């Protein structure tokens, strides 16, 4: 059973390309030894944690379905990732991973919104009042399909094929870059939430 988290205190994150460096194209991070942190983003998570934020990771991991690694391998990586982040006071509430291949037609592989729905149901938060940080256009599409806004880390040229509705509300190179924006965004979400309770 999940817990309720205040709308101004939860942030959704992609994994590869946001928390850790991506594997080579058409490959996967298959072991903890291959997991390489992205320092500026982890530093940003530390600063957000100091302000009371908590995090949920939503990640595609088709390497399991493709036989590149086992479910146990993936769970071990996530266990070690969460443990390390906890040791530096970054609280990851949960990791939701789609392990299906791209041709399986599931509703959880981004750009489908299934992982978002699973997380919102488990932890009782409003998808419209949080953000998803990703590094792939399909992350923005998935957030949009789930009713969330997104922040994109990377080159804005990669977003040319997105519709206006799918585009992120902010483009940056790192989480550290968007700290002031995030604080403002969630203060506004909190104020809106409090206003809604009055009526």
Which has the closest alpha carbon to 82: 116, 50, 54? 54
Q: Is 14 a catalytic residue?
A: yes
Handedness of CA 108, 110, 111, 115 (dihedral sign): positive
Is the preceding omega at residue 32 within 30 degrees of 0, hence cis?
no
Q: Is 94 a catalytic residue?
A: no
21: which DSSP letter? P
Strands, sheet with 131-134, edge to edge from the N-terminal-most edge strand: 92-98, 54-60, 10-13, 131-134, 149-153, 170-172
Query: Is the Cβ–Cβ distance between 15 and 60 less than 8 Å?
Result: no
- Catalytic residue ranges: 14, 16
């Amino acid at each position: 059973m999940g817990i309720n988290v205040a709308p101004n205190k939860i942030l959704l994150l992609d994994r590869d390309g946001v928390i850790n460096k991506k594997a080579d194209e058409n490959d996967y991070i298959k072991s903890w030894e291959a997991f390489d942190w992205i320092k500026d983003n982890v530093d940003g998570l530390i600063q957000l944690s100091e302000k009371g934020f908590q995090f949920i990771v939503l990640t595609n991991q088709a390497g399991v379905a493709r036989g590149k690694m086992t479910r146990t391998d993936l769970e071990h990586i996530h266990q070690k990732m969460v443990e390390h982040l906890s040791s530096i006071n970054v609280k990851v509430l949960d990791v939701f991973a789609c392990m299906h291949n791209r041709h399986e037609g599931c509703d959880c592989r981004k750009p489908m919104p299934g992982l978002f729905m699973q997380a919102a149901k488990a932890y009782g938060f409003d998808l419209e009042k949080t953000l998803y940080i990703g590094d792939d256009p399909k992350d923005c599409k998935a957030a949009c399909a789930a009713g969330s806004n997104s922040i994109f880390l990377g080159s804005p040229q990669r977003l040319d094929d997105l519709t206006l509705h799918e585009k992120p509300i902010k483009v940056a190179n790192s989480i550290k870059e968007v700290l002031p924006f995030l604080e403002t965004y969630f203060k506004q979400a909190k104020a809106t939430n409090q206003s809604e309770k009055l009526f």
